[in-house]
Amino acid sequence: MRSCRGTSFCPQIGPGWVLGIFPLEFPNRKRNLVVTEFMDCRNYNIKMGLARRPAVVSGCCLLMVASALCVAQAAEVPGQPAIQADVRRDAAVEAVERIMPSVVNIGTETVVESRDPYEDLLQDFFGYRRRRQAQTEYSRGSGVIIDETGYVVTNDHVVRGATKVWVKLNDQAKPLEAEVLALKRGTDLALLKLKGKPGQTFVAARFAPDDDLFLGETVLALGNPFGLGGSVSRGILSSKSRRPTQTDEALNIEDWLQTDASVNPGNSGGPLINLRGEVIGINVAVLKGGQGISFAIPIKVVAEAVSEIFTPELDGLWFGARMNAGVRSLQVQSVEKDSPAALSGLKVGDVIVAVENTVPRTFIEMNRLLLAAGVGKDIALRIKRGGDTKDLKVRQIREETFFNVELIQKRLGASLQQLTPKLAENLGVGATSGLIVAGVEKDSPAAAAKLERRFIIQAIDRQPTPTIVAAARALHARGRGEKVTLSLVAEQIEGRFIHSYMATTEAVLR
């Protein structure tokens, strides 16, 4: 290796640095190890190009430096070719290697019940109903694993209505079946759970910090375009706050990321990543007729949606607080009134440090601890509030014990029953999901909104209400005297015929 004298410049190290070589003694060893160390010749007396041995040496640092120098020496042995890094392995390649085990291909099967107007005529006049012929539809999409236990984020439109969902990992030939845990149509996101073997773990992707974006930075889109699987496209971040040409209010997304990385059918639900291999967005749409204009849901919106989706309420428990699901600390974002969290004294801004004396590493791990704790017992929470550490006790309850038909009756003045396909067929109503009105109190908000028996409530304030719990939650979140918009399937009788039609009405809660 090249020797550096005095304060001359060493290309491998820097100005004023030299290499010192001296023996390092180890106890219980018959031979000593010669270790080479970087030293600053401005701090040591230099004679004949050799540095004196420093008084105190860190063995750990010396071993690391020695290893590095051994590699460098090996690369410069005369007569042998120098070992060089592969020029193809740039930041993009390394980012793909980090994220690829977390990217999944999603296949869905949807059984669609067909409805023939001629069949309805037979039913109305003759009471005769033929067996409906079901049609099966297939589609493909992408997703990304966000937790080692097998939770996957994808687009709502990829799995909505699917009868079966399969997920294929890039390193496995056989797909796994997945369960759709929750859908959030407003942000076009869905949460799945892989049905793996007991104890099986997966590689989880890492979220980028909120708004940690550079306009023009290199980004990579991964997914399953046209069912090809394991595909990567490269581009730049074209815009950090760009909406689709025609804003769709139902999506409720304030700003989409725009990129020129190629996104094709099947890429939906796959990750958009930066060169650190962190997820900065979820691929969602392509501008029709545009060239190189694709969109992704920002990771900030994804984290907020996941924090609302993945909660103890997934298993029917009521905890009643929401934490941020990003890379920040587990800070409480909201607390529901009258909830177990509120009754325990938990407040917005608190940071959860431990659950049952276990320090959760991630948002999902914290919720797993709450799910495992169940109901009927006090759960120990350790929080930080300002500069103080506090210990709280919270006792979760089953959702249906609070969010039930009695709460709806109290706030709305209507008796509701959850509709099932079988019940809908028996009643002959024009919908198969929602909440059917079984009765209306006189002089109640429901009566003022002109609700009638057999009307079906399908959404409150544009949020789907397929269950009693969902409807009761929506009403509980509103205060007394506030208005709610009810989306209905209403009926109108004309002679011997009953016509169903979509309608909306407003009710003032009591």
What sign for the dihedral angle of Cα 127, 133, 139, 144?
Answer: positive
The contacts found for 300-306 with CB under 8 angstroms, 24 or more apart, are 300/210, 300/211, 300/326, 301/187, 301/253, 301/254, 302/153, 302/187, 302/189, 302/207, 303/207, 303/210, 304/187, 305/184, 305/187, 305/189, 306/146, 306/153, 306/189, 306/191, 306/363
From CA 350, how far away is CA 381, in angstroms rounded? Answer: 11
Which of 147, 157, 233, 339 does the annotation list as catalytic? 157
Question: Number of helices and strands (H, E) in the chain?
Answer: 11, 31
- β-sheet bridge partners, residue 140: 107
Catalytic: 262? no
From CA 459, how far away is CA 451, in angstroms rounded? Answer: 14
Catalytic: 188? yes
From CA 113, how far away is CA 231, in angstroms rounded? Answer: 34
Q: Which residues contact 255 (CB under 8 A, 6 or more apart)?
A: 240, 241, 242, 243, 298
From CA 142, how far away is CA 138, in angstroms rounded? Answer: 14
From CA 307, how far away is CA 146, in angstroms rounded? Answer: 12
From CA 27, how far away is CA 450, in angstroms rounded? Answer: 91
321, 341 Cβ separation under 8 angstroms: yes
From CA 403, how far away is CA 454, in angstroms rounded? Answer: 22
Which of 268, 294, 307, 344 does the annotation list as catalytic? 268
From CA 35, how far away is CA 152, in angstroms rounded? Answer: 49
Catalytic: 116? no
Which of 102, 139, 142, 188 does the annotation list as catalytic? 188
Radius of gyration of the chain (CA): 31
Q: DSSP class of residue 117?
A: H
Give the three-class secondary structure for 407: helix
Burial 144-183 (b: 16+ CB within 10 A, else e): bbbbbbbbbbbbbbbbeebeebbbbbeeeeebbebebebb
Of 502, 496, 501, which Cα lies nearest the Cα of 121?
A: 496
Of 68, 208, 225, which Cα lies nearest the Cα of 141?
A: 225
Of 465, 452, 460, 464, which Cα lies nearest the Cα of 509?
A: 460
Beta strands in 25-115 (DSSP E): 33-40, 46-47, 50-51, 103-113
What residues act catalytically?
Answer: 157, 188, 268
